[in-house]
Amino acid sequence: MTSLHTDPSGEHRLLLRSMLGEDLVLTDADAMARYCRDWHGDVTSSAVAVLRPRSTEDVAACVEACRELGLAVVPQGGNTGLVLGGIPDMPERQVVLSLERMNRIRKIDADDFSAVVEAGCILWELKEAIAAEGMFFPLALGAQGSCRIGGNISTNAGGINVLRYGMTRELVLGLEVVLPDGTIFDGLSTLRKDNRGIDLKQLFIGAEGTLGVVTAASIKLTPNPDQVATALVGLASLEDAITLYRRARRDCSDLMSAFEFMPPLAFTLAREAIPDLPIPMAADYPCYVLMEVSGSGLVDIDNLMQRFLEGVMEDGIVLDGAIASSQAQARNLWLIREGMNEGQAKRGVHMRSDVSVPLSKVPSFVAEAEKAIHEALPDCICVSYGHVGDGNVHLNVLPSVELPHQQRLERIYQSKTILNQVLDRFHGSLSAEHGIGRLKRADFDARLPETKRRLLNAIKNAIDPDMVMNPGCQLNFTGKS
């Protein structure tokens, strides 16, 4: 249906309300604002409408209505994404489909180590409900108080526990998805092992809503790790951090659940965000690692951490170390990591990245990238940190606070370009965990091998030939020729 009306969005709004009912459709600009603005506040957009379905059937009706009206659907979870995958960029053609009302936990089955949850469940609330049953859902990331599990699945979220439990993909047993034609793919099995051919659910994990709308998932639970040991250690170099990681995997029998490296500047930044934060170590070492070992039952995790650190200090790999002796102390160590992020935000707009290289290349990559950026942009500061066990580095660049806004934006652009050049030499990934969304589409596109592009277009055309789902996200998919 093509509108000849002078205000096509107005007409579309009326039609959506009449097709779906007032309750599901937001069209007021103020009410829509928070759905059309990204987490960092970098981008403000708008949309024809925001649809807020309450059930899988509602979602199917929403997709069907949009398809009928020639509108496109931008699915959105907690709107905490960092690459604009859920933010509309064609306000007159796109509708935001928020899953926030689909937030029921359908089932937690501790006996089966599984749960079935709706896409709109907030990750933290989910984790709490699961913990109340004595179980554990390992996904853990900064946005966990606001992000929703459907978004985590659609972006294949990473986070701090990936080295032990894998990305979100590895935590998913089954999916329920509303397809672009409005039909419902019901794959909510809780079977641990099901090898009936091509595994369709894999397509939707990490697709950022370009192939359908994830409405519910069955997920894997594990026993709650009732013992957690947390330590902050100082090292002579990032090379030593990698050595420490390798040794920790072996010595701690893969019971390590987090391994984050940070520069000494982390302490300064954390204090800028949380002035009275206790920091149990001087900023005297070139590199710091925040590590966590966890387990349950008969394994003595505190003892394991203690003996591990004694060994690596004796061998000179670790120069200084502090083990948290209470949950409060452990929390404070994590606040250094989190405060470092907040501290960067407080210094204004800056370049954020989320890249990965092979583990053994992390030190040389960071050194080369920081050197190239320092040389070209001496008025900028590099802050490199990340989930080093996964080869995942967040190399951020803070332009001098003295610079006017426009020049800061230029520095961001310049430093991103330099970083990508170095990254290409290391055959790294420009998105280790955040996805592509709209923010990284051009950089992704520019590096996409032809064979991969052809496959992606073929898959998109096979599942969403009318390009209803999230156009502009990941790739400007091309229709059938």
Q: Which of residues 158-217 bind its own copies (CB under 8 A)?
A: 158, 162-163, 166-167, 169-170, 179, 183-187, 189-200, 202-203, 205-208, 210-211
- ∠202-206-211 over CA atoms, to 5°? 75
Q: Is 190 helix (H, G, I), strand (E, B) or coil?
A: coil
Task: Determine, following the binding rule CB under 8 A, whether residue 141 of this chain makes contact with its own copies.
Answer: no
> Which CB sits closer to its own copies, 21 or 297?
297
CB of 238 to its own copies, least distance (A): 14
Single out the segment in contact with its own copies by CB under 8 A; choices: 36-44, 88-96, 406-414, 429-437: 429-437
> Which CB sits closer to its own copies, 228 or 381?
228
Binding residue (CB under 8 A) for its own copies from 359, 367, 409, 467 = 359
Q: Which of 85, 145, 135 is CA-nearest to residue 107?
A: 135
Task: Determine, following the binding rule CB under 8 A, whether residue 132 of this chain makes contact with its own copies.
Answer: no
CB of 327 to its own copies, least distance (A): 19
CB of 436 to its own copies, least distance (A): 5
User: Could you give the CA distance from residue 156 to residue 167 in angstroms, rounded to a whole number?
Assistant: 6
Single out the segment in contact with its own copies by CB under 8 A; choices: 38-46, 222-230, 278-286, 367-375: 222-230
> Which CB sits closer to its own copies, 46 or 384?
384
> Which CB sits closer to its own copies, 30 or 314?
314
Residues of span 288-327 touching its own copies by CB under 8 A: 295-299, 301, 304, 307-308, 311
CB of 340 to its own copies, least distance (A): 20
Residues of span 387-416 touching its own copies by CB under 8 A: 387, 389-392
CB of 136 to its own copies, least distance (A): 10
CB 305, CB 227: distance < 8 Å:
no
The tokens describing 81, both together, are: 């994404």
Residues of span 85-124 touching its own copies by CB under 8 A: 109, 111-114
Query: For residue 430, how far is the Cα from the chain centroid?
Result: 13
CB of 293 to its own copies, least distance (A): 10
Burial track 411-445 (b if 16+ CB lie within 10 A, e otherwise):
bbebbbebbbebbeebebbbbbbbbbbbbbbebbe
Q: Which of 108, 103, 111, 115 is CA-nearest to residue 189?
A: 115
> Which CB sits closer to its own copies, 67 or 434?
434
> Which CB sits closer to its own copies, 178 or 381?
178
User: Could you give the CA distance from residue 413 to residue 3 in angstroms, rounded to a whole number?
Assistant: 39
Q: Which of 153, 44, 45 is CA-nearest to residue 95?
A: 45
CB of 312 to its own copies, least distance (A): 11
> Which CB sits closer to its own copies, 103 or 154?
154
Binding mask 23-62 for its own copies (x = CB under 8 A): ----------------------------------------
Binding residue (CB under 8 A) for its own copies from 80, 155, 215, 230 = 155
Q: Which of 255, 239, 360, 240 is CA-nearest to residue 307?
A: 255
CB of 343 to its own copies, least distance (A): 25
CB 185, CB 257: distance < 8 Å:
no
The tokens describing 85, both together, are: 């995958």
Compute the half-sphere exposure of residue 410: CA atoms within 13 Å on the CB side of its CA. 9
* H/E segment holding residue 260: strand 256-262
Residues of span 370-389 touching its own copies by CB under 8 A: 387, 389
Q: Where are the alpha helices (DSSP H) in 70-157?
A: 123-132, 149-154
CB of 199 to its own copies, least distance (A): 5
Residues of span 448-467 touching its own copies by CB under 8 A: 449, 451-452, 454-456, 458-459, 461-463
Task: Give the relative orientation of helices 8-20 and 56-69 as an angle to the nearest 10 degrees.
Answer: 150
User: Could you give the CA distance from residue 430 to residue 420 in angstroms, rounded to a whole number?
Assistant: 7
Task: Determine, following the binding rule CB under 8 A, whether residue 222 of this chain makes contact with its own copies.
Answer: yes
Single out the segment in contact with its own copies by CB under 8 A; choices: 23-31, 38-46, 253-261, 283-291: 253-261
The size of the interface with its own copies (CB under 8 A), counted in residues, is: 95
The tokens describing 90, both together, are: 């064609």
Binding residue (CB under 8 A) for its own copies from 250, 284, 378, 481 = 250
> Which CB sits closer to its own copies, 414 or 457?
457
Single out the segment in contact with its own copies by CB under 8 A; choices: 57-65, 152-160, 228-236, 366-374: 152-160
The tokens describing 330, both together, are: 């452990």
CB of 113 to its own copies, least distance (A): 7
Compute the half-sphere exposure of residue 149: CA atoms within 13 Å on the CB side of its CA. 32
Residue 335 burial by Cβ neighbours in a 10 Å radius (0-12, 13-18, 19+): middle
What Å distances lie between residue 210 and 88, 222, 315, 466, CA to CA? 13, 30, 50, 12
